[in-house]
Amino acid sequence: MNWGLLILGGFLIALLAQLVGAIMAFRGGAQEGVLSLLVPGYVLFALKRSGGYRLFVGIYFAGIASVAAGTIALS
């Protein structure tokens, strides 16, 4: 198996989750959305207020877990 694809896929999942989380934060207002795009970690606070926190964190950590698994497999 090509472990590099697992790592790349994990990064893409995490990036996609971050973008979807920022879009979800725009429901709280333009300021929330822009801050979630520009300030690292702000998306967690914005989504905790709007109620989409669990879905975001689950998908984001699935991507990070696949990056970790691919990195361990390459070692």
* 13, pLDDT greater than 90: yes
The one-letter code for the residue type at 14 is A
Identify which of 9-18, 21-30, 35-44 has the greatest average pLDDT: 9-18
pLDDT in tens, 27-73: 888 998 888 888 878 888 888 887 778 888 888 899 999 999 999 99
Model's pTM, two decimal places?
A: 0.80
* 22, pLDDT greater than 90: no
Domain definitions of the chain by residue range? 3-74
Segment 13-39 mean pLDDT: 87
